[in-house]
Amino acid sequence: MNYQDVPSQTAMSPTQVAPVRTAVDPARVRRAVLWAGVIALVVVGLLVGFDLFRKQMMASFFASNTPPPVSVNYETLSPSAVARSLSAVGSISAIHHVTISSEAAGTVKSITFLPGQPVKAGDLIVQLNDATERADLANARAQQKLAIANLKRAQELASKGNLSQAQLDQAQSQSEIATAAISRIEALIDQKAVRAPFDGTLGIRETEVGHYLDRGKAIVHITNMKELFVEFSLPEQARPQLSLTQTLDLTVDAYPGRVFKAEIAVIDPQISVATRSIKLQAVADNFDGLLMPGMFANVHVALPVDQGQMTIPETALDYSLYGNSVYVIEDAGTAADGKPIMKAKRTTVKTGSSVDGRIVVTEGLSQGQRIVTTGLSKLFDGATLILNATPTLVKPATVPVP
């Protein structure tokens, strides 16, 4: 093969055209970049302008749509006396309460009471059969009569010297033995007449006529309802504020709204190691018979009145996780019609005890300030107010307890 006849690999065919390289115009590039920057600035300007326009329109909307004034009640603060007390839950028990039982065994001859009946001390409750004892008493009296006659004869003989001193002493002893036998039998007869040990009210009877009662067998319970114990406990920190004859108020669930009175009678000299509390016992008069042993009682021990305390109604306090607060009424100038503008300002306060629907404020308020007492759910800081001069709360009429 003749290598001269093979065309070269780099040789171009007659139909192929060599590419033409054109030079880039720098001026055109600068113009393109400039226009892109202008377009970007216009877009950014439009966005910023729209945002400013939106904010202006929103501000104009809210300025022309302010919430209407809120009508509220208010109260002007002034120092007042605050009644203080210590509270506890106690239990009522009877001062005099026993189970009547027989000291002697025997058959029930008669029952002279009705369940729930009031009785006086010494009233007959149950009579046991005492026929045998009365027969023994008659025999003992006959023996006593004979012993006394023998003693008189012995004394006459001894006075004449016809009887020894030993025989006289024996006659004296027989007389005394006969008298003692009578006393023993009379005591046994008295034991078979079961009587009330004190004034009180009888409970449900636990025997019937004809029953044989063993010694000590229960017959009926008796309770004196005129005076009752109220037993309760208070923390040991309260000991300096407690004293005998100190008055306290009682309330029970059975008589809502009814307050009973009592006085502290006993202060336990020991502090409970387990609870670090002190036990107290008060005496409550129960002449109307409404209180009953076994009732739970809410106890309020009266303490000296605390003067000069700032108090607010419970309805004026706004509770939250961040602290308690009230709305103070502030003067915000004068409206176009000449009327004063009142605004609400949320103010954080510290509170103390609560008594009769009012709360003691220890910090955050001062005398003469006006606070909102109702309508707190509609308020916010800076809200415009319309002051209502009507009373904040009207205490409902107390319903008499029958």
**Neighbour order of strands in the sheet with 97-101:** 97-101, 218-223, 200-202, 118-119
Q: Which of 124, 84, 80, 133 is nearest to 100 (CA)?
A: 124
Structure tokens at 362: 């220890």
pLDDT digits (tens, 9 = 90+) for 13-23: 555 555 555 56
How many residues are there in the chain? 402
Rounded to whole angstroms, how far apart are CA atoms 100 and 191? 12
- Bin 368: left if φ > 0, else alpha if -120 < ψ < 50, else beta: left
Question: Looking at residue 237, what DSSP letter applies?
Answer: G
Quote the mean pLDDT of the chain: 85
- The whole-number pLDDT of residue 389 equals 67
Give mean pLDDT, residues 158-186. Answer: 89
Better-scored residue on pLDDT, 31 or 118: 118
Rounded to whole angstroms, how far apart are CA atoms 391 and 249? 29
Give mean pLDDT, residues 42-47. Answer: 87
Residue 393 has pLDDT above 80, yes or no: no
- Bin 122: left if φ > 0, else alpha if -120 < ψ < 50, else beta: left
- The whole-number pLDDT of residue 391 equals 56
Domains, the chain: 70-80+308-388 (2.40.420.20), 86-95+224-305 (2.40.30.170), 102-128+192-223 (2.40.50.100), 130-191 (1.10.287)
The maximal CA–CA distance of the chain, rounded, in angstroms, is 204
Residue 106: pLDDT band with limits 50, 70, 90: very high
Residue 282 has pLDDT above 60, yes or no: yes
- 0.75 surpassed by pTM: no
Residue 209 has pLDDT above 70, yes or no: yes
pLDDT digits (tens, 9 = 90+) for 338-359: 788 889 999 999 988 887 788 8
Return the minimum-mean-pLDDT range out of 68-77, 133-142, 216-225, 271-280: 68-77
Residue 160 has pLDDT above 80, yes or no: yes
Provide CB contacts within 8 A for 278, sequence distance 6+.
Answer: 233, 234, 235, 236, 238, 239, 242, 267, 268, 271, 272
Give mean pLDDT, residues 361-371. Answer: 89
- The whole-number pLDDT of residue 68 equals 81
- The whole-number pLDDT of residue 65 equals 59
- The whole-number pLDDT of residue 57 equals 79
pLDDT digits (tens, 9 = 90+) for 240-251: 989 999 999 999
